[in-house]
Every structure is written in structure tokens, then in C-alpha cells.
Structure 1
């Protein structure tokens, strides 16, 4: 015989779980515990006849073959019923509390840490494809909603929400759920509520307050769980412990309203169970007063470490002086993206000035006035140990958006709404370490990837630097594209290291202790250390940047790793890897770059990113092609809207990105994407239409492949010229992008060829005379341009470029001397003529050409002498 049991003081989750277990084990007898919560009793008073409940007095307890236990894993919590079970009776348990218990030969537990036990049983019902009636769905929903706070408790899981959805689909009535979930207190319960209120003390420990309410009475009153929850709400305490002696038993019910307080461990020491925020126990041997004293001694165990102001505040703090003008503060607000500044005088807080205050003053043409006349002179402040919960409460109560953090009278930080929001959504900094925002990133350690991908020398070097920086009390990080590529599994040996501290000091220390040399740049707070093995490592102090105007070069100030990463171009490049020995390899990801890599997304960190550096538009295109990623909708819109700002950027800065797009990536992709984003015209005002450009590029790429044209980074200006309209202005514009003389020469060569070619040119020897001395790159570009309009010219270009390499230097000046020709100024012309002849008649051998030279050139030389 099977029997279904649950814990005493049965709640709706327990009752629902018993009913669900009955569906899974239809031959089992369902036996209710001796005590139920008052809300459950009210429900059963109406619906009891709809249940197949067995009276414990009618069971043959000696013949129980299996116990099916729900919503608890302890038979002790079944009350007196558990005492009637045979020894070593097999138990099958369904539970969601705490950690899963160990299974034995007679005890099996199906355990998942869901918000409600009914969710676990509904999964089993769904696996067996069992139907659920609307009545059952409503009861199951009562269990789900009551144990998860209507799906709002932090213990709620995605599976709970999915279960709720299925129950509604099965016909669950939320009206019934609302009616019974929180039944009103009965007369006896109201009496107990008032008694506990009268006998309550508030204990304070480590920034939290816990209420302990004690009462003794002769008769039993149910509903202690509901009473405890109501007391917690009324008192506003972080936690409450209700200890009530009824008859010969002491009932302990605990509730927590704070993530800091976990009441379960204390209740477990008393033989009870439950959740971190809701637990209960029952004792016969101790009075409430004794238990209350024990609880007071254990309060330090229930309060975990809290996120405090010092963990989430922004630091160092940018402040202004009282005499700073309103217009200067306005510029600083724009520069740093802040919404306000503390105003300090002689290191002490004098007030706080907000963007709203500044805007109002500017509206009244008071930009010249000092901020002391418009600042708030009594700002709300907090100290470094103020808890996150207290910070939230103060912000709501005082309606303030930022609060200076004061320590010993000095401003050591500032907490804004943004800081609080980040902390609440899993982005708050942990003590003594930077934070990673996403859960995926939090579980990511790149140490193995770094060891696998980097050369042994390089890996040893970053390990050494990490150890050295930590010894100097600096926090070292590997940052930038290499972190991205470690996640992508791509090779990258380009090392950039940022430290929270003085990078120059670190570089000098490395040179002194390990050898090598160091070059420092005080203005940018950077150093380049060259190791004894010759490896160059860029060391940078964590810094923030601001731009005085769009497309300007950045101004630099020291900051922390978060602000340093925030100045990066895209989220996928705004990650770091800790090099500190204590957490080597830990991914630092404030901006969800890890998730964007997994999603193949290019995303800017802030909306002014392209305004501050328009070349990032080109970089976004480059990364799209390189990684087969795509800009997210917002980033693409910003790129489209800010393409025109490229016209304000110097040509050398654009050239840096454009050259890599055209050579390292794909000129075809560039033309298509630049046209889509409407940025082509801001890069090359004399560009041809897209179809013409693509046609030319197609011919060029085929030609380059056929003649094995060398792919050099310097070829990019020649390719850029291919996209122009081949006018003098176009050549001049393309030449202005050149980094060096070689890149400029390619453009000039193409211009020269273009002006020299005539329509009548049909022989390779004629082409050779025009293209003599011109690079293969320039020649290929011209043939591609002309060949896109006339396929015959494209074929001639292939024959010419291939043949030119074959005839080059096959006959030298020494060969002509052996023929009896005297060296002189005509040699160059004769050699060019021989090469042309050979291009026109490629089947001729060297001997054939020498005979031809002897027959023609010796006669011509003789005629010249006669003249």
C-alpha cells in the first residue's frame, strides 16, 4: 500500500503537490497532516468533498509499502503521522527546498530548486501526458502562486512561469486563486497577531533589523505563517521570527524581506526547513524565551554580506568649486556624460549642482554666474557602509538621483540612480574586484584559452606582468581585441594591458627587475616595455576620455577599468581579462560584450560614439565583414545618421580604417555596405555609382588572381582610385588619403596612364611603351577600369601583365654588348623595343630575339654613327 504525505501546517503548495502526486500515483492513499494553514482549511471547508482523502484512522499502517512525500524531504516534518510508519519504509520524495538530500536504498528524492514544489510535479505530469481539469489547475495554481508570491519572489524560476502558463491554458481560475491565497485573519488569529505585536523586540545587526516576537498560549491557533508575513509587512523589518508556545509545542515561523537575510540555516538547526526567505520549525523541548535568546546569538549567521555604497559608487569623484561658472559646469556635464556634480570647498562638501539647475540658469542667460548661487546647499549624503537597500529607500523617500558618499568629512564617491540600477540587475561591483554583468560572462574564465592561443613566451609574459602589477597594488587587465578573439577562438598576439594604477611606474619597475627597456608617455599615462626577448608590451593606466567637439582627438584623465572600457568603440571590444594571480583569466564584461559575440552583434556603448569618432562607422563595417557579424538596429541607425561627420575627419584618420577595409577585408563589401549606410559620398565625393564600382572591382579581382598580383596594404589607394570617376579632382582626392609616397605614387601612375592612353592602342608593345616604368598595381587598376567597359581590354590587360613579367630582364644590356653594340643612351630604348617585340610574338625564343636584335639594331646603330 502506498501513502501520500506532506509536512504539518500544510500550505497550498503542499496540498497541490499531494494532489499532483495522486495523479502520478493513483493507487496511493492521500492522508492530510494533523494541522493545515488557516487559508488551506478555509479552502478545504468548501472543496473537501472533491478530494479523495483517506482518514489516517482507516489505514493499516503496518502494511504501508511506500511513502510518497511531497514538499518536504523529512518524515519528521509530517508530524504524528510519521511516527506511525513502519521502520525502513521506502520513501519517494518530491521536494524543492534547500539542497537535495542523499539517496539511499530506501530513500529516493526527486529534487529541483524551483520556486514551488508543484512546478516539479507538473513537469512529471506533463512528461506522462496526463490531463489536468480546471479544478486541478486552479488548486495547482494556488500552490504555485502562494509559494512564489504570485511569481514575484526571487526564488521564482523560468520553469515556474512556464508552469503558470500551462495552468492558465488548462483552465485555472485566478479569481479563486485570489480569493483563497490570502484569507483574512480569523478572530483567534487577530488575537495572536496583536499579542505578537505587543511582545516584539527589534534586533539590529550589521545594518539589518530583525524582529523577534514571542508569545505563549494554551490553545492552538493556526495561520502563524500568514501572521508572520503580515507582521513583516507592518513593521517594515528585514526579517521576523515568530515563536509561539501552544499547548506543549513551540512553533517557530521565520520570514525575510531582504536578500541579505537567509533564515533557513537557523531554522534547520531547530529541526525545521523551508526557503531562504520562509522557513518554520516545531520544538517540544524549549520555551519561546529560550529559543529567542538562541536566535539573538545567531543573528550574525543569517545576515550575509550586503552590497554597500563603497561597492557601487563611482570614484574618483569629479567635483566643481563654488566659484565655477554655470557655463563651465555645463561643458563638463557634456564632456563626462554626468547629470550633476558635487560642489566642494577646501575638500568639504558644500552642495550639489544638477543638470536641471544648470539648464535653468542657462535659460535665464546666467551662464557667467558661479554655481554656488544655484546649487542645492543641503544635499542628502550617505557613508561608504550604507547598504544598497537603504540607498534605495533614501532615493525614493527624498526623491534624489545622486548622493555623495562622505567619509571623514570628505567626498570619496558618488552613487547615482545608474549605479543602483546596475547593482539591482546583477551588475554591482563585488568587493575587491571588478564585476561582470552577464551571468554567462560571470561563469567565463579565459585562462585556458589564453594558454592555448598565445605563444608560450607571451603567456609567460602576461603572467609575469600580472604578478608584478599586483605586487605594486595595481589591478592588471588584458583588454581589447585579444579578449574578443580569445572568446571567438581566433589567434591574436597583440597584447594591450591596462592597470588601475600608474602604468609608467609598472613599466619602469619591469625594466628594473626583468631587464629590457621602457619608453614612457606622460601625457597619455602610458608606457611601452620591451622585454629582454624583444617583445613589446603596451601598458596603459586605466583612463577616461572626452572630446571637446565632434571628431576631435580625445583628452585623457585617469579613471578605473569600467570607465576605461566604456571609452571603447563596441561592446565586443569593451571586455577585459584579469591578470591578477587571485583571479587570473576572469572575464571582465560590464557591457554584455560576451553575449553580443555569441549573438554576432556589433553594438556601440553609447549613442554619441559615432559623433565622437566617426571612423568607428568604418570600423563597424570592417568587423561586420571579418566576423560575419551585423550591427544591431540602433547602431546601424546611428551609423547611417552620422556618416556625414566623416567629412570633418582628417584624411589620415579615415585612411587608417579605409585601407584595412579595402585590403584586409573586401572592397566589394565596402562598396555595398557604404552605399547601404549612405557614407560612400562622405569618403569619396567623386565616386562612381555602385554598379560601375562593382563591375570594375570584379575585373580587378579576377585580373589580380590571374597574374598573381601581390596583395599589399599599400595597394589600397590604387583600389580607391578604381572607385572614382577618374577626373583630375578624383585623383587629387585619392592622393590626399595616401600615408606615404608609395601610396601617392600609385594614384599618380594611374592618372598618368589614363592621360596617355589613346583609343587606337591595340598591340601589347604599344601598351608596354605607355606602361613602361609603371607598377603592376597601377596598370591592373587601369585595365580593370577600361576592361569593365570593354572585355577585350580586360583580356589584353591579362596578357600584358602576365607577359611583362615573363620578358622582363630576359635580354640584358650585356647581351647587346656581346652582339657588338656599343653601350649608350639608346640601350634603354632598344631593350624596351625588344621586350615589346617579344610581347607581340611570345613564341619567339631568346635566340630568335637576339638574331632579330642583331639584324635590326646593329643596322640602326651603324646608321646613327654615319649620321
Structure 2
């Protein structure tokens, strides 16, 4: 079967244009990575893409008509992105790109790919682990590159070279001019990397983090006595790093039972939420979990307290993510975690962890109670000696262990099936709609969790007793 390489070459020859692999395609080839998405430039890009799509029975999509970028989707889901050559030569095209490691090209010829074109020493930078912008102008032309620099540094384990860092600091406010949807997408790509915690810390030093999340800035002056220089912002960043540490070691921590629970927790964090890995959203939740502290900070009897910061923070986080065009599903999940992030610690400090308390926890959070435990542990680890992390000796880890085991191994106890609803109670107890119905249903569910109620008749009888006693 003819390869898409041969089809591209022959189609471009008919148009008398030269095709080149560029950008991530060249970079990933040099890194020895598998390729499923291919980037190509040539003159007459639309005609070339149409010809290739027609010959390969593929789908053609216009990605950006203004900049003349077209995507060919092959039947096996491989994508070929055709972009119009910028300038009259490939060297001119490469000079308009962002970073040296993206400013390389490989010519496609009938004999194969030949002769790396590398006018800015991108291969050398890639080998030495350096991310270098071609010029300060690249950040002016497209401010999203300010954020992309940190994402690429995290993704490819690169150090941003000093002059590029200075340009980012000088231009960081320009990121406010980028479309919010593009910022959201790039931020989530960053958070999906395993080294995103370090990247966020570097972004904070440059000022870029609080350009994206200006609501964080007030926390820098709050809680300095507790968290050190940087206050609550420092605590947020440490929490993200701790969540990242935990996500990388789920199979090694002692509080996750390996035989029956580990695989389920791993599947949970890998699942997509609206196309986004849940692990990325967990780190975003950690970044914002105490965002309500500055607004609620109060010294009471010589102690700095933050009463109600969870609820205030949930509201702030929801507004902030809405402004960044996060989806309703994404925003609601982060709001849920921010609102409830104190609960695992509160459960751990109680005299004992009852089945009723565990049932209420998962009734309120559902399967995302699992994420709440991981996020809360990232928060808790900022107060716990590192030597104790993951040992299941700390009270909060022991609580997480019991909650995870209950959810995955005794689901019918912590989330028992509904055996009566509001209509049943109104009919059997001759009640009108109102808050009392919700109160009675909550009591019935608690009784189910405690094993006191198992059938519909028992539930109705229990509800009658509760109603008479109130």
C-alpha cells in the first residue's frame, strides 16, 4: 500500500512545490518519539492538502483559513497538518517560528527524508536541554507563547535559557491579550505534564502565574508566618507539587490497597473529564484550593484564622475559571473540591470514623470523593514531615485508606441504593413538599449506611419515628 509520504511527495511535485516536515514532527523524530500527528509546510498548502486527502480517501478540515492551515485526517486517525509556507524560502519560514527546537525542517523527497535544515541550532539546544526563543518579538506576535514556553519546558524536561526568561518577564502582561480559550487549552496541556509543578513555580517567579490568576496575588502577603515567604501562594504551589508526587507514586503508597483498590484509583485519575485528564484538574484544584483565605483572614485571640474560606474560595474559583472559559463541568468539579477540601482532615480529627460519616462524604462528592482525598493529602503534606508521606501512619492517610476501601470494596454500605424517594414520604406520612422531605431522606440514607434500614417498609417506619421526634 502506498505510504502517505509518497502521496505527499508526488502531489507536491505535480504542483511544483517543495514539502517539508517542520515543528513538532522534526523535534519528535530527533527525540525518537512515536508520531501520530505530522506537521508540514509547503506553498499552495490548500491544493496540496486537498490532493492528498482525495488520493488517500481522507477527510479535509480547514483549521485556520486566515493563516492557511489545513488538516488531513487519515482513516487510521493519523493527522497531517498542511501550513502555507511563510515567505519564499523554508529559511524565511523557520525564522518566523517561536523556539529554536521548533525552527527545524526536513525536506521530503522521492528518496525519503533528507538533510536537516537547522539555521538556529535547534538540534543542539534540544540535545543540551535548552528552550530558547528566536527573539523577543515571538512573544509580541503571539502572547500565548509565553505560557507555551513553560508547557514545553515541562513536557520535554528543558531549562528556559536566561535571555528567553528575561523576555518572558518583560512581556508577561501581554498574555491578557490572548484569547481566554487558548490560555485555558495551553494551561491544561501544561497541567497534564508530569513536571507541571516546577513549571508553575517558575511561572510564579516570572509573574505569569498571577497574570493568568490575578486572584492568587493577594495570598502572597497572607499566612507568611505559617508558610514562609510567598504566603498562601507558596502553599498552593507546594500543594500542587505534592499532588504530583502522589499521582506518580500511587502504586507505592501504603494507604492504597494494592490488590483491589489501586487499579481503580489509577483508572479514576486517568479518566477524561470533558476531554481533560482528571489528574490535570486535580492539580488545578490544588492550585486554587485556598484561594478564599485572603478574603477570610482574621486574627482571633492571637491566631490567624480563615473561617469559611472553603465556601468563599469555591465561589472565587468558579468565577475565575468561568472567565478563562473552562467548561461548566470542569468549573463545577474544581468548585466541589475547593468547597470540601477540609473534610478529610476534619474526618481524621474526629474521635472515630463512622459509616454514617463515610456515607455522607461520598453522598456529597460521589466518585470525585476519591479525587478529594488525593487533593486533600497534597494539601496535608505541606504540614507533614516528608519522611511520613505514604506510610499510612498519619491520621489523614489512615482516614483516606478507610474511605477508599469503603468506596471501592463496600460501595453498597457507603452509597446504598435509594429505597424511598420524596413522593413515597409525602404519600406515606401525609406531608406537603418542603425542606422536611429532604431532612427525612437524609436521615433515611444515614440509617441505611449504618445498617439500621434495609427495606422500603423499614425506611418508611424509620421516617415516621424521626418525624414524630422532631
TM-score with structure 2 setting the length: 0.68
Deviations 1:668-694 (A, max 9, x none): 212332234343322222335354124
Q: How does 1:214-253 map to 2 (within 5 A)?
A: none
How many Å apart are 1:532 and its aligned residue? 5.2
Q: Distance in 2 between matches of 1:835 and 1:578?
A: 69
Is this contact kept in 2: 1:526–1:541, CA < 8 A? yes
> Would the alpha carbon gap of residues 799 and 784 (structure 1) be closer, same or farther in structure 2, given more than 3 Å must change?
farther
Q: 1:510 matched to which residue of 2?
A: 52
> Would the alpha carbon gap of residues 831 and 695 (structure 1) be closer, same or farther in structure 2, given more than 3 Å must change?
farther
Q: Does 1:860 align with 2:462?
A: yes
Q: How does 1:392-403 map to 2 (within 5 A)?
A: none
> Would the alpha carbon gap of residues 626 and 514 (structure 1) be closer, same or farther in structure 2, given more than 3 Å must change?
closer
> Would the alpha carbon gap of residues 691 and 526 (structure 1) be closer, same or farther in structure 2, given more than 3 Å must change?
closer
Q: Does 1:696 align with 2:239?
A: yes
> Would the alpha carbon gap of residues 503 and 794 (structure 1) be closer, same or farther in structure 2, given more than 3 Å must change?
same
Q: Does 1:769 align with 2:360?
A: yes
Q: Does 1:719 align with 2:322?
A: no
Deviations 1:321-340 (A, max 9, x none): xxxxxxxxxxxxxxxxxxxx
Q: 2:391 matched to which residue of 1?
A: none
Higher relative contact order, chain-length normalized (CA < 8 Å, sep 6+): 2
Q: Does 1:470 align with 2:35?
A: no
Q: Distance in 2 between matches of 1:533 and 1:489?
A: 21
> Would the alpha carbon gap of residues 804 and 757 (structure 1) be closer, same or farther in structure 2, given more than 3 Å must change?
closer
Q: Distance in 1 between matches of 2:418 and 2:150?
A: 54
Deviations 1:169-218 (A, max 9, x none): xxxxxxxxxxxxxxxxxxxxxxxxxxxxxxxxxxxxxxxxxxxxxxxxxx
How many Å apart are 1:485 and its aligned residue? 1.4
Q: Does 1:667 align with 2:202?
A: no
Q: 1:630 matched to which residue of 2?
A: 159
Q: Distance in 2 between matches of 1:830 and 1:617?
A: 53
Is this contact kept in 2: 1:787–1:793, CA < 8 A? no
Which structure has the greater CA radius of gyration? 1
1:543 aligns to what SS in structure 2?
coil
Q: Distance in 2 between matches of 1:864 and 1:793?
A: 33
Is this contact kept in 1: 2:146–2:172, CA < 8 A? yes
Say how many residue pairs are matched.
Answer: 380
Q: Distance in 2 between matches of 1:637 and 1:566?
A: 20
Q: Does 1:543 align with 2:86?
A: yes
How many Å apart are 1:589 and its aligned residue? 1.8
Is this contact kept in 2: 1:753–1:782, CA < 8 A? no
Higher helix fraction (1 or 2): 2
Superposed CA RMSD in Å reads 3.9
Q: Does 1:805 align with 2:388?
A: no
Q: Distance in 2 between matches of 1:811 and 1:766?
A: 9
> Would the alpha carbon gap of residues 638 and 738 (structure 1) be closer, same or farther in structure 2, given more than 3 Å must change?
same
> Would the alpha carbon gap of residues 692 and 795 (structure 1) be closer, same or farther in structure 2, given more than 3 Å must change?
farther
Q: 2:319 matched to which residue of 1?
A: 732
> Would the alpha carbon gap of residues 750 and 816 (structure 1) be closer, same or farther in structure 2, given more than 3 Å must change?
closer
1:587 aligns to what SS in structure 2?
coil
Q: How does 1:823-842 map to 2 (within 5 A)?
A: 829=442, 832-833=445-446, 836-837=449-450
> Would the alpha carbon gap of residues 714 and 493 (structure 1) be closer, same or farther in structure 2, given more than 3 Å must change?
closer
Is this contact kept in 2: 1:543–1:564, CA < 8 A? yes
Deviations 1:461-517 (A, max 9, x none): 123212221222011111111211111222222111211x21111222234444334
1:642 aligns to what SS in structure 2?
helix
How many Å apart are 1:758 and its aligned residue? 10
Q: 1:785 matched to which residue of 2?
A: 379
Q: 2:34 matched to which residue of 1?
A: 491
Q: How does 1:526-537 map to 2 (within 5 A)?
A: 526-531=69-74, 535-537=78-80
Structure 1 alignment gaps of length 5 or more: 1-456, 545-558, 838-848
Q: Distance in 2 between matches of 1:812 and 1:593?
A: 55
Paired residue for 1:609, among 123, 138, 154? 138
1:589 aligns to what SS in structure 2?
coil
How many Å apart are 1:863 and its aligned residue? 4.1
Deviations 1:520-573 (A, max 9, x none): 4643323333345554322222126xxxxxxxxxxxxxx542232222221111
2:269 aligns to what SS in structure 1?
coil
2:214 aligns to what SS in structure 1?
coil
Deviations 1:284-340 (A, max 9, x none): xxxxxxxxxxxxxxxxxxxxxxxxxxxxxxxxxxxxxxxxxxxxxxxxxxxxxxxxx
Q: Distance in 2 between matches of 1:778 and 1:562?
A: 51
2:198 aligns to what SS in structure 1?
helix
Q: Does 1:575 align with 2:100?
A: no
Higher strand fraction (1 or 2): 1
Q: 1:361 matched to which residue of 2?
A: none
Deviations 1:752-810 (A, max 9, x none): 43699996873453364255242233454345436645864454344324422333246
Q: Distance in 2 between matches of 1:831 and 1:808?
A: 17
Q: Distance in 2 between matches of 1:625 and 1:754?
A: 27
1:744 aligns to what SS in structure 2?
helix
Is this contact kept in 1: 2:129–2:157, CA < 8 A? yes
Is this contact kept in 2: 1:477–1:498, CA < 8 A? yes
Is this contact kept in 2: 1:717–1:737, CA < 8 A? no
> Would the alpha carbon gap of residues 665 and 525 (structure 1) be closer, same or farther in structure 2, given more than 3 Å must change?
same
Is this contact kept in 2: 1:483–1:576, CA < 8 A? yes
Q: 1:644 matched to which residue of 2?
A: 173
How many Å apart are 1:738 and its aligned residue? 4.9
How many Å apart are 1:747 and its aligned residue? 2.0
TM-score with structure 1 setting the length: 0.39
1:673 aligns to what SS in structure 2?
helix
Q: How does 1:160-559 map to 2 (within 5 A)?
A: 460-499=3-42, 501-520=43-62, 522-531=65-74, 535-543=78-86, 559=88
